Chains A and B, each alone.
Chain A
Amino acid sequence: MTGRRRSVGILATLVLVVSACTSGASSPPSGPPSSVPSSAPSSTSSNAPSSEPSKAAEPVTITWYHIQNNDPGLSLWKDLAAEYTAAHPNVTIDIQANENEAFKTKLTALLQQGDIPDLFQTWGGGGLRQQVEAGLVKDISADIASWKDTINAGALSMYAVDGKNYGIPFDLGLVGFWYNTKSFTDAGITKPPATWAEFLTTVETLKAKGITPIALAGKDTWTGAFYWAYTAVRNCGQAGMDKAVTTGAWTDPCLVKAGEQFKQLIDLKPFQEGFLAAPWDGAGSGAAAMATFNGAMQLMGQWLPGTVNANSGGSRPIGEGLGWFPFPSVEGSPGDPYDGLGGGNGFAVGKDAPPETVDFLKYLVSLDAAKRWGALNSGILPTTVGSESSVTDPTMASVLEGRAKAKFVQLYLDQATTPELGGAINEAVAGLYAGTGTPESVTQAITAAAAGQ
């Protein structure tokens, strides 16, 4: 009897231990995480919010949903809201901070109920377009006309639908190659590759030295889709990408060429063992492979250093031993060699929001607020013109440098299009690197999905 009870106890403990050990790794984000806290909030003193005459003294409550549910971002948003309400005593801000995935679920439920938040997180692109078409979001073009020049134009355009503004960005990151500087040194590579041909040579050099050239998180198919999206941006240029995204015609030969180019890389077998089952974050992940030098390079957004740190068990401080270089240029392609692929975070205004909401939003993206975001070096790369210098972390600064050179930044394809088409793109590209598809089948599958919606 006691024996049995004891074994039950042991079993219960085992289950607890197992669940405790794994819970940290159990929720890989399905999309790029938005904030990667790295340092304590630096308490920059702030100027008082733009004290425009608060004509309506009637009490107003603004419901605000954001996803910076961890410090330092959480505190900074709270501080900014407190400063604003101090200057506008009639305004109350109801702050709802949610985790990324929880937010998506919650927002969907709220929008379906018709209970639309006044101000809420958006990633722009096709998701925002669906909300606009459902009449849930306010056209703020006229409200922001006087100050929209203070926001990075490329970033702002990701939150516009048919030429009208529906949201304001506060962050824009860029996807690029992160690399382990030690792996490059071990392989005798002195300079990151600048062209596609040089890049392929780099991969071969690393492989010859017995170093896995690239970590790829094949289970999270959005990571693999970055490669195809970037080769597409290079081969089609801004005009070609705009055409595909807006018309749904994904058949242009330049897109097939993009697939062929990615195929050149795939054929070198550059990825780590078992990459098709590797998630982006957590056990056996692409980030873990990078952290343990089982992959010299990884094509990823600006959140990589934070995730690599988290997957190293703390053995690799954020950004340490990591370098960044932009996606290589492609000889003779129509795309500008500095064109980028990226995305970020912004806020949309709900259709029934009180007029004060836009004024509050203006304060949240003011130069002062943006500089305070930059100074946190948290992975949020502020988009208010003139705030770039506030980012001091060297790896983040190199991402910002890449962003400054980019005349055009293509929003992540699974966000620029609808979730439906985005899913189809990720799946089709996965077929390419899993060996079940061809460059032609990728464009055919995407076109079929675009036609079916």
Chain B
Amino acid sequence: MAIAVGSRSRFSRNLRAWGGAGLFMLPALALYAVFVLFPIVQAARFSLFDWNGLKALDHFVGPANFGRAQADPVFLGAVGHNLFIVVMSLAIQIPFALGLALLLNRNFRGRAILRLIFFAPYVIAEVITAIVWSLILQPNGLADHFLTTFGLEGAYSPWLADRGTVLIALFFIITWKYFGFHMILLLAGLQNIPREVEDAAAIDGASRWQAIRYVTLPLLGPTLRVSVFLSIIGSIQLFDLVWVTTRGGPVNASNTMAVYMFDRGFVRFQFGFGSAVAVILFLLCFVLALAYQRWVMRRDLEGATTYG
């Protein structure tokens, strides 16, 4: 009897808690279902058809669209370009942002101004960034004049128009836009590290470098892992900047998965095939995000996730 009463009251307490939470979450859940879950299901459905978006959805092809993507050298090239951006971001962009954050975490005059300046590019819309950099990098543009003025005549070349350099030029623009974001993120992380810990290390005779390597960085771990995570996902979904500057060209040299998806779907009206590419992109991000949270960010998220 007592047990039954106890469990009933726990049940009703649970129900009340769920009811209350559910009531408040309902609008968000409804929006999520309509604008996120439903389109995902739709895309998955379309990906199994040969469909140009106009005629009836009646030409079922099964997984053929996925086979076609996986056999298309242009798509594989796009995957490679995404990987290139991921690797470069992790190898260059994040360390650069970290270095700046460490510098700007010290006390000196003008620190706030510098933080603002470094953060500014992140505030500018991606499309505007792309247009401004296309203007700067075009022949006879700012970069051309700048290099010539400083005696580096001949150092300029139209990097965005060269299949060999276009990816590096794009990576440069991406870094320019996003290093400030990672810097601010890491700076916030650094400010959460108690000064006493570093002081203690210094008293124990650790050099500045040793203090960073063995005290600061491990304590900055959670922030760094978030930074790396956002950088990877951002690099995989890269679209606006590429579409506006090069549209994936010259001749697919800067294609990314998202650009390829948009081009095949909305420019060439292969909505079935485009949906298949979208599904691949979605699964890739989804699996990566889950795996990363499960294994890399596990300790950081303790209590926020459940493990089955």
Q: Which of B122-130, B276-284, B291-299, B300-308 contacts A (4 or more CB under 8 A)?
A: B122-130
Which residues of the other chain, A, contact B116 by a CB distance below 8 angstroms? Answer: 4, 7-8, 11
CB closest residue in chain A, given B166: A277
Q: Assess the A18–B249 pair: CB atoms within 8 A.
A: no
Q: Determine if B56 is an interface residue (Cβ-Cβ < 8 Å).
A: yes
Which bucket holds chain A's interface residue count?
A: 35 or more
CB closest residue in chain A, given B127: A26
CB closest residue in chain B, given A285: B138
How many Å lie between the Cα of A15 and that of B134 in the bound state? 16
Q: Which of chain A's residues 344-370 have a Cβ closer than 8 Å to chain B?
A: none
CB closest residue in chain A, given B113: A7
Q: Determine if A221 is an interface residue (Cβ-Cβ < 8 Å).
A: yes
Cβ contact of B135, chosen from A30, A131, A284, cutoff 8 A:
A284
Q: Determine if A275 is an interface residue (Cβ-Cβ < 8 Å).
A: yes
Q: Assess the B163–A112 pair: CB atoms within 8 A.
A: no
Q: Assess the A218–B161 pair: CB atoms within 8 A.
A: yes
Which residues of the other chain, B, contact A423 by a CB distance below 8 angstroms? Answer: 263, 267-268
Which residues of the other chain, B, contact A111 by a CB distance below 8 angstroms? Answer: 54
Question: With A284-B135, A436-B251 known to touch, is A277 a contact of B161 (CB < 8 Å)?
Answer: yes
Cβ contact of B250, chosen from A25, A130, A133, A277, cutoff 8 A:
A277
Q: Determine if A420 is an interface residue (Cβ-Cβ < 8 Å).
A: yes
Which residues of the other chain, A, contact B251 by a CB distance below 8 angstroms? Answer: 427, 430-431, 434, 436-437
Q: Assess the A284–B134 pair: CB atoms within 8 A.
A: yes
Interface string of A366-391 (1 = CB under 8 A from B): 00000000000000000000000000
Question: With A22-B128, A26-B131 known to touch, is A277 a contact of B269 (CB < 8 Å)?
Answer: no
Q: Assess the A284–B138 pair: CB atoms within 8 A.
A: yes
How many Å lie between the Cα of A283 and that of B134 in the bound state? 8
Q: Determine if A3 is an interface residue (Cβ-Cβ < 8 Å).
A: yes
Q: Assess the A25–B131 pair: CB atoms within 8 A.
A: yes
Q: Assess the A274–B124 pair: CB atoms within 8 A.
A: no
With both chains docked as a complex, state the minimum distance between the C-beta of A158 and any C-beta of chain B, in angstroms. Answer: 19
Q: Which of chain A's residues 209-259 have a Cβ closer than 8 Å to chain B?
A: 218-221
Which residues of the other chain, A, contact B113 by a CB distance below 8 angstroms? Answer: 3-4, 7
Question: With A218-B249, A273-B158, A431-B251 known to touch, is A136 a contact of B131 (CB < 8 Å)?
Answer: no
- Most chain A CB within 10 A, of B132, B251, B267, is at B251
Which residues of the other chain, A, contact B166 by a CB distance below 8 angstroms? Answer: 277
Which residues of the other chain, B, contact A452 by a CB distance below 8 angstroms? Answer: 68
Residues on B facing A (Cβ under 8 Å): 52-56, 68, 112-113, 116, 120, 123-125, 127-128, 131-132, 134-135, 138-139, 141, 158, 160-163, 166, 244-247, 249-252, 263, 267-270
* 28 pairs, CB–CB < 8 Å, chain A vs chain B: A3-B113, A4-B113, A11-B123, A18-B128, A26-B127, A108-B53, A108-B54, A130-B55, A136-B54, A218-B249, A219-B247, A274-B138, A276-B161, A277-B134, A277-B160, A277-B166, A277-B245, A277-B246, A278-B161, A284-B138, A418-B52, A418-B269, A419-B267, A420-B268, A423-B263, A423-B268, A427-B251, A434-B249
Residues on A facing B (Cβ under 8 Å): 3-4, 7-8, 11, 15, 18-19, 22, 25-26, 30, 108, 111-112, 130-131, 133-134, 136, 218-221, 272-278, 283-284, 418-420, 422-424, 427, 430-431, 434, 436-437, 452
List 10 additional contacts besides A111-B54, A275-B161, A422-B268; criterion CB under 8 Å: A4-B116, A273-B158, A276-B249, A277-B138, A283-B135, A284-B138, A284-B141, A427-B251, A430-B251, A436-B163
